[in-house]
Amino acid sequence: MIIAANLKTNLTREKTDKYINEVENFLNQHGISQEVLVFPALSSLNLHVGKVTVGAQNAYPAQNGAFTGEIGNEQLEEFNIKTILIGHSERRHVIGETQAEVVKKFNFYKELGFKIVYCIGESLQIREAGDKVMMNYLSSQFEGIDLEYENLILAYEPVWAIGTGLTPTLEDIESLHLKLKEQCKAPLLYGGSVKVSNAEEVLALNGVDGVLVGGASLNSDDFCTMVKYAQNIENNK
């Protein structure tokens, strides 16, 4: 399974280093064989050698150049970062990234062989418009994306569930994941208000290959508990 922490705009470089070391120690002490990804704020990126894979929450689709306020692959190379989150709902809806921009980023980092965690998800308004509208909307977020890319990981994150404490029902998550899996065979994570109290049941669902955790990942103990749940589920398969 894949357990990912999206630290968003939180933690300083010092706190992030401490966090990653705590998670790394946990993985080693508990013989964790699951894939663990951590996405720190860009200013907290650092070289890390170990089981934890550190990824970028965002980067501009360029090696370097005149893109004020952005970082490119040159800045990722400095820390040996080869994993990136693309299409997160906060990039799409708060920052205003369009599907065309998302596709450009995807293709650029795909060319470089990055592991890409590609996020899709619908707003509440779209969900309430019914299954057909919702599936069409989700498919539109696949437009221009190579769903066969070997280093692709998908994350389904309903926008209305991110940071709100709300989640779809377990039945809804399962049925949607199974539908999405018909369109794309890549590992599929669920994200949106995953926390210690619900992670175990979400991870146990058919069609769920892991979780992408925001707010509840900020506490390293909580994040490690969720990693352990995934390990236990795999051990019991």
Q: Which residues bind ligand PGA (CB under 6 A)?
A: 6, 157, 162-163, 191-194, 212-216
Report the residue number whose CB is nearest to ligand PGA.
214
Q: Do 164 and 126 form a contact (C-beta atoms < 8 A)?
A: no
Q: What angle do CA 71, 76, 78 make, to 5 degrees?
A: 120
DSSP symbol at 183: H
Q: Which is nearer to ligand PGA, 114 or 160 (CB)?
A: 160
Catalytic residue among 88, 97, 122, 177: 88
Q: Which is nearer to ligand PGA, 61 or 158 (CB)?
A: 158
Q: Which is nearer to ligand PGA, 18 or 93 (CB)?
A: 93
- Determine whether 157 is an active site residue: yes
- In 78-219, alpha helices (H): 89, 99-111, 124-128, 131-140, 170-183, 196-203
Nearest approach in angstroms of CB 199 to ligand PGA is 10
**Residues 206/212/213/214 CA torsion (nearest 10 deg):** -140
Q: Which is nearer to ligand PGA, 8 or 15 (CB)?
A: 8
Nearest approach in angstroms of CB 118 to ligand PGA is 12
Nearest approach in angstroms of CB 4 to ligand PGA is 8
Q: Do 227 and 16 form a contact (C-beta atoms < 8 A)?
A: no
Locate 36 and state its tokens. Answer: 């663990």
Nearest approach in angstroms of CB 111 to ligand PGA is 25
Cβ atoms within 10 A of the Cβ of 158, count? 27
Catalytic residue among 35, 90, 97, 157: 157
Q: Do 23 and 38 form a contact (C-beta atoms < 8 A)?
A: yes
Phi-psi region of 96 (alpha: psi -120 to 50; beta: other; left: phi over 0): left
Q: Which is nearer to ligand PGA, 20 or 37 (CB)?
A: 37
Nearest approach in angstroms of CB 20 to ligand PGA is 18
- Determine whether 177 is an active site residue: no
Give Cα separations from 234 to 52, 169, 195 (angstroms): 18, 22, 19
For residue 52, the one-letter residue type is V
Catalytic (active-site) positions: 88, 157
